[in-house]
């Protein structure tokens, strides 16, 4: 007689043991605080040390635990190539987002979101177009625009092509420069180079960083599609929390 064994994996294929190790890694106040900090902004070790007020050795220990448990990834900067940014893994981001939805004051009272990358020719236009397309469902009317620290002469043809395949029209987009910080405007920087070039004072209060790779490095359609999907997922998470807390 065959006896069916209970599954040790969830619907996404993650093993029970891995889930246990992930929850064990989060059962520490310092590590949970780290996940709060990188929920919406990918941060370097120095930024985390400053925010947490801890030593390099202690931070390295906690990041190591989180990385081994599959809670965070560390990504080498595409800008200066020296620092690394800590990013919450997408599946953990989604899991923890439900807790943040129930937390008062999670989202700032913004009237506009500005997405920034270097050339304003692919990543930031992707983000602004996705946000505005879905804002009635996700962002309660908060509108989005985009800009670049070094605007390209024109929008990337590959970006237009890939966006069109996902039902987003970028054909009328013209790259524009970053304006001065304004009250009530939240900025989200989608590339390491732009984030590192902006004045450090601008990184506080309403500025976030997403370490999204530059698809223009390879110019392949697959690279642009991966970037589009990554941005779409992050837009979905932040827009959902914005709608729930405004």
The 10s digit of each residue's pLDDT in 21-47 is 888 999 999 999 999 999 889 999 999
Q: Where are the domains of the chain?
A: 16-101, 112-245
pLDDT at 238: 75
What is the token pair recorded at 22? 């992930």
pLDDT at 244: 47
Assess contact for 61 and 55: CB atoms under 8 A.
no
In angstroms, rounded to a whole number, what is the distance separating the alpha carbons of residues 164 and 120? 17
112-245: CATH class:
alpha beta
CATH number attached to the domain at 16-101:
1.10.10.10
Q: How confident is the model at residue 97 (pLDDT cuts 50, 70, 90)?
A: confident
Question: Does residue 203 carry a pLDDT above 50?
Answer: no
pLDDT at 246: 46
The 10s digit of each residue's pLDDT in 19-28 is 888 889 999 9
In angstroms, rounded to a whole number, what is the distance separating the alpha carbons of residues 148 and 12? 37
H helical segments located in the chain: 16-26, 29-37, 45-52, 56-68, 90-101, 123-138, 157-165, 192-197, 221-245
The 10s digit of each residue's pLDDT in 48-78 is 999 999 999 999 999 999 999 999 999 999 9
Secondary structure (DSSP) of 191-218: SHHHHHHS-GGGGSSSEEE-----GGGT
In angstroms, rounded to a whole number, what is the distance separating the alpha carbons of residues 161 and 157? 6
Closest CA to 168 of 218, 90, 113, 235: 235
The 10s digit of each residue's pLDDT in 229-245 is 999 999 887 765 554 44
In angstroms, rounded to a whole number, what is the distance separating the alpha carbons of residues 1 and 160? 59
Measured in whole angstroms, how far is the alpha carbon of residue 98 from the centre of its chain?
16
pLDDT at 207: 84
In angstroms, rounded to a whole number, what is the distance separating the alpha carbons of residues 221 and 43? 28
pLDDT at 180: 76
In angstroms, rounded to a whole number, what is the distance separating the alpha carbons of residues 170 and 124? 11
């Amino acid at each position: 007689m065959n006896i069916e064994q209970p599954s040790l994996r969830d619907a996404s294929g993650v093993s029970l043991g891995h889930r246990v190790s992930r929850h064990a890694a989060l059962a520490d106040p310092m590590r949970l605080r780290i996940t709060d900090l990188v929920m919406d902004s990918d941060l370097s070790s120095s930024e985390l040390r400053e925010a947490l007020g801890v030593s390099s050795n202690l931070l390295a220990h906690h990041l190591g635990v989180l990385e081994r448990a599959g809670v965070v990834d560390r990504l080498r900067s595409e800008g200066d190539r020296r620092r690394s940014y800590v990013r919450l893994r997408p599946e953990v981001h989604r899991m923890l987002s439900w807790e943040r939805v129930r937390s008062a004051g999670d989202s700032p009272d913004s009237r506009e979101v500005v997405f920034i990358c270097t050339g304003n020719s692919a990543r930031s236009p992707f983000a602004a177009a996705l946000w505005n397309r879905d804002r009635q469902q996700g962002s309660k009317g908060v509108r989005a625009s985009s800009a670049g620290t070094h605007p390209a002469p024109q929008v990337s043809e590959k970006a237009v092509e890939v966006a069109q395949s996902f039902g987003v029209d970028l054909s009328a987009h013209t790259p524009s420069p970053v304006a001065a910080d304004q009250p009530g405007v939240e900025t989200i920087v989608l590339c390491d180079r732009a984030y590192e070039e902006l004045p450090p004072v601008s990184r506080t209060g309403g500025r976030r960083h997403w370490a999204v790779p530059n698809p223009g490095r390879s110019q392949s359609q697959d690279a642009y599609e991966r970037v589009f999907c990554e941005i779409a997922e992050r837009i979905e998470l932040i827009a959902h929390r914005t709608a729930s807390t405004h």
